[in-house]
Structure 1
Amino acid sequence: MKTLLSNPASWRYVWPIVGLLLLLSINLIISPEFFHLEIKDGRVYGSLIDVMLRAAPVALLAIGMTLVIATGGVDLSVGSIMAIAGAVAAGLIAAGVESLPLIIGGGLLAGLIGGMINGALVGYLGIQPIVATLILMVAGRGIAQLINSGQIVTFNHDSFAFLGSGYFLGLPFPIILVIITFIAVQLLMRRTALGLYIESVGANASASHYLGINARAIKFSVYAIAGLCAALAGMIAAADIKGSDANNAGLWLELDAILAVVIGGASLMGGRFSLFLSVIGALIIQSLLVTIIMSGIPPKYNLLIKASAIIIILLLQSPRFQQQLSGLMFWRKRHG
């Protein structure tokens, strides 16, 4: 039976989890109460819950981004779609709409339209993904500002605010939303042929075409799903602060989402993907931020430390680095 060391390809499933456990262990050393969980009034509190809660928006973005990257594309507009969805939801509430399904539906529709625009540009018009999504990245935030009339729109709607600050089964509702979204998309990918089609298009779009797979429709679909995930994240962000800030909602989160997917072992060239590892990647990013804060390191070093830690994680996932490490360990075993 092949061991983990003799099968470096399997390491991509191990290293993200090892990296997350390492970061959590460092936090435990810094703060012995880091893993302490407490239940009050039927709600679970603790640092671990806070990490998962703060990672929820990036995790949602990473789920959609995983599918996009699996086709060989990238979506730079998800942060702006977050802003648009939050602005639409806040605008509906400010206009006097009380129906929660209508408010959520409006936000999801906005995200779906944004994703469909990206999908049409990439899939049917053949525009490079980075260029096509850059258009909505810039224009989308302007659209959100127009919806808000250039102001921060606040609202008071307890049912909608539940999306960002409510609790369900003892856990913050954003965490529940991530779990539901992950299960739904995972079932869609693995219980239908769509996941196989996505991997096929990402690995070789031309060959997929000759096999009868509609690569254009597949690309259109993944960008639409990414738009829906971004809309969910945007409404969570708006519900959390009970307002829509078009200038800052989702700002640069698209980069964290891409990073989470890459940390999860997905190839930017397309092909293989893992939704689970992408969510782990989002948790790693948030855990790293918590580690930096808890260690008391001056804020001016935050970005440098974050970049260094990510480089180490990506090195551990590199097939060539894994082969070299495996060869070194084998040499030491023989000459030890």
Structure 2
Amino acid sequence: MTEGTGDPFHFVRAVTRHALFWPALTLVLLLALDVAHRSDFLKVTVMNGHLFGAPIDILIHASPLIIVSLGMTLVIATRGVDISVGTVVAIAGASAAMLLSDDPARVPTALAACLAVGLLAGAWNGLLVAFVGMQPIIATLILMVAGRGVAQLLTDGQIIPISGTWYLRLGDGYLATVPCSVWIAIAATALTALLVNGTALGLFIRSIGINPVATRLVGLRSAAVVFGVYVFCGVCAALAGVLISSNVRSADGNNAGLLLELDAILAVTLGGTSLAGGRFSLGGTVLGALIIQTLTYTTYSIGVPPEATLVVKAVVVLVVTIIQSAAARDLFLHLIRRGIAAGRVKSVDSVGEAVK
């Protein structure tokens, strides 16, 4: 039977091949597990003028990861990778802490310094990748190592408290009962979507990821696009550094943003973006970040020992990634077909026996 309208599996196949189906299903299953463990898990109430509940906690802690992952999505779509985003988070937080320690009212200056750090870091990575021709993982590894040292120098290896009131509200404040960090993540997602869908930038990024040589031969300034993508990723990481440092009310050059780059890459791949470049999904990236944060919350809430949390996380990510592959989907549908066919044969045999 063909894949036409007469094929009963046509609709199932079309749905399962949608870019957002498996990430959305994974998130729903994780939430269902939480609800099974705690019936009031999804309950959200208003307390002291703002929303309160487990879903809100997940959104608050997922917001920085969403922002970092947006930048990582565009980088990976150009066949690159940026493993220095965790370091940029640490440097941005340390820069803000240094400025606010002298005068807590210098919030605009601190924010400008954070974004400047991200811009410079992204420009450095973009310069090495786009114009020098260095491999992305090597270029960003340089900043990952050196930048962590810079963050430790800025903080003198200590945890520096942050006391700027308006700065702190970005991470733990609320606007219209919704956490400010969530609003910032929504704004960043909307702006990124506008850039890649409302302009030709998205087409340029996909073209570079699919065939960078052909893109260059047709006259597209691919180096400038790649440079801009790394700059954007650096700014996203710096903005995430603002949210993280303001949420914990301190800057830690040693641990801030540690392994965040791995979570960002996982969020991007879980969302359906191809590591080979060319194909990306911002909606999938957001779902991927929510999956990772929900998974972290779930492992703690159901009582998984802390030392086993990373193992459980890795197993879940592995299973989801395998399920997302085309081969796994085809095998799944094939098994369903065989099951239905076997059921029909058994029914026919039963009818035959009854007639006899």
Category of TM-score, reference length = shorter chain: over 0.9
Q: Which residue of 1 aligns with 2:234?
A: 227
Shift of 1:100: 2.5
Residue from 46, 49, 54 that aligns with 2:61: 54
Q: Which residue of 1 aligns with 2:354?
A: none
Secondary structure, aligned partner of 1:44? strand
Q: Out of 207-216 and 142-151, give the one that drifted further.
A: 142-151
Q: Which residue of 2 aligns with 1:111?
A: 118
* Structure 1 position 193 matched with structure 2 position 200: yes
Shift of 1:334: 3.2
* Structure 1 position 25 matched with structure 2 position 25: no
> Retained in 2: the 8 A contact 1:164–1:236?
yes
Give me the TM-score of the superposition, normalised by structure 2.
0.91
Q: Which residue of 1 aligns with 2:319?
A: 312
Q: Which residue of 2 aligns with 1:80?
A: 87
Secondary structure, aligned partner of 2:19? helix
Residue from 327, 337, 341 that aligns with 1:334: 341
Instruction: Give me the whole-angstrom Cα distance separating, in 2, the residues matched to 1:9 and 1:26.
Output: 22
Q: Which residue of 2 aligns with 1:138?
A: 145
Instruction: Give me the whole-angstrom Cα distance separating, in 2, the residues matched to 1:190 and 1:269.
Output: 20
Amino acid paired to 2:259: W
Give me the TM-score of the superposition, normalised by structure 1.
0.96
Specify whether residues 97 and 33 from structure 1 end up closer, same or farther in structure 2 by C-alpha distance, changes over 3 A only: closer
- The count of corresponding residues between Structure 1 and Structure 2 is 336
Gaps of 5+ in 1: none
Q: Out of 2-11 and 170-179, give the one that drifted further.
A: 2-11
Instruction: Give me the whole-angstrom Cα distance separating, in 1, the residues matched to 2:50 and 2:64.
Output: 21
Q: Out of 99-108 and 30-39, give the one that drifted further.
A: 99-108
Q: Which residue of 2 aligns with 1:272?
A: 279
Secondary structure, aligned partner of 2:51? strand
Shift of 1:148: 2.0
> Retained in 1: the 8 A contact 2:99–2:106?
no
Instruction: Give me the whole-angstrom Cα distance separating, in 1, the residues matched to 2:288 and 2:244.
Output: 20
Instruction: Give me the whole-angstrom Cα distance separating, in 2, the residues matched to 1:176 and 1:193.
Output: 26
> Retained in 2: the 8 A contact 1:8–1:319?
no
Gaps of 5+ in 2: 344-356
Q: State the Cα deviation string for residues 143-170 of structure 1 (Å, max 9, x = none).
A: 1122223332223110111111110121
Secondary structure, aligned partner of 2:206? helix
* Structure 1 position 154 matched with structure 2 position 161: yes
Shift of 1:215: 1.3
Q: Which residue of 1 aligns with 2:223?
A: 216
Q: Out of 75-84 and 143-152, give the one that drifted further.
A: 143-152
> Retained in 1: the 8 A contact 2:75–2:230?
yes
Q: State the Cα deviation string for residues 174-231 of structure 1 (Å, max 9, x = none).
A: 1111000000111011000001100110111011112221111111111111101100
* Structure 1 position 283 matched with structure 2 position 290: yes
Shift of 1:39: 0.7
Instruction: Give me the whole-angstrom Cα distance separating, in 2, the residues matched to 1:110 and 1:137.
Output: 14
Percent of aligned pairs with the same residue? 41
- Pairs within 5 Å for 1:283-302: 283-302=290-309
- Pairs within 5 Å for 1:40-51: 40-51=47-58
Secondary structure, aligned partner of 2:40? coil
> Retained in 2: the 8 A contact 1:11–1:317?
no
